[in-house]
Amino acid sequence: MFYRLLKYVLLGPLLKLLFRPRVEGIEHIPEEGAAIVAGNHLSFSDHFLMPVVLDRRITFLAKQEYFTGPGLKGRLTAAFFRAAGQIPVDRSGKEAGRAAIREGLGVLARDELLGIYPEGTRSPDGRLYKGKVGVAVMALTAGVKVVPCAMVGTFEIQPPGRVVPRIRRVTIRFGEPLDLSRFAGSADERAVVRAVTDEIMYAIMRLSGQEYVDEYAAVVKAAEA
C-alpha cells in the first residue's frame, strides 16, 4: 500500500517533474513473472528513479546501513525503506552474501522483479566497476533472465557525498534480457558464475557507455579512505 502511495502520489510525480527521466527500452521489462533487473549504481537517487519509471513493482536488496542509521534521520530512512518493501542486506562476510542470495531468491520465487546493483556499492567516480557474482548465482539458481539497466546522468545530479541532488534530466536505459539458460545447473561453479557476471557487466557497460574498471568498487573506496 505505502509503495503505491509513494510511487503514484507522494514521491513519483515529483521525481518525474524534477528530473524528467528519459526512458529507453522499457519494452524489455517482462509484464509478468520473475526477472532480475541489474543496473549500474552511480547515485543514491538510483533507488528512486528506476522504480518510478516501471509499471511493475521492483524490490531492491538495499545495504543494511540504510536500516540502522542513528538519530531521527536514521529512523526515518529505515522506516522509508521498510515501507517501500526494500530488503536489508549485510554486506560483510561470506555468510552475509549467502543471506542476501536467499532473500533475493525469495523475491524471485514470488514471480516478482528483483533489482540489484552487481557492483555492490555506488561508484566512487562515475566509472563501472567489477560485478559481484551474487547476481549470477541468483539468476542461474532461479532460472530467470537478467535485464541490464543503465542509469545515465545520476552521478552528475547526486555524486557520493552530495545530499541535495542537482535538478537535471536523466536517462534510464533497459537492454534486451540476457538468456542464461545455457548455463543451467552451474550456479555452484565458480568459473561459470564469474563468466556470467562479467557478461552482465558488459551488457551494462554497453548501455551506459561508462569506462570499465576490473576491480571491486568497495576495494577502491577502502584504498582511498
More confident residue, 122 or 90: 122
Count helices and strands in the chain by DSSP H and E runs: 9, 9
Query: How much is the pLDDT for 224?
Result: 83
Strand bridging mode 128-129 / 22-24 = unpaired
- Tell me what pLDDT residue 96 has: 67
Residue 129, SS3 per DSSP: strand
Q: How far is CA 59 from the centre of its chain?
A: 9
pLDDT of res. 89 = 76
pTM: 0.91
Q: Give the number of C-alpha atoms closer than 13 A to the C-alpha of residue 51, restricted to the C-beta side.
A: 24
> Using one digit for the tens of pLDDT, what is the confidence trace for 7-42?
778 788 888 999 999 999 999 999 999 999 999 999
Q: Average pLDDT of 118-142?
A: 96
pLDDT tens, position by position, 33-71? 999 999 999 998 998 899 999 999 999 887 777 777 788
Q: Dump pLDDT digits (tens) for 206-219.
A: 999 999 999 999 99
Model confidence over 71-114: pLDDT tens digits? Answer: 876 777 777 777 666 777 776 666 667 888 999 999 999 999 99
Return the higher-pLDDT residue of 158 and 62: 158
Angle, helices 94-109 vs 134-142, to 10°: value is 40
pLDDT for res 139: 97
Residues pairing with 116 in the sheet: 38
Nearest to 49 by CA among 169, 130, 146: 169
Q: How high is the pLDDT of residue 94?
A: 61
Contact 46, 61 (CB under 8 A): no
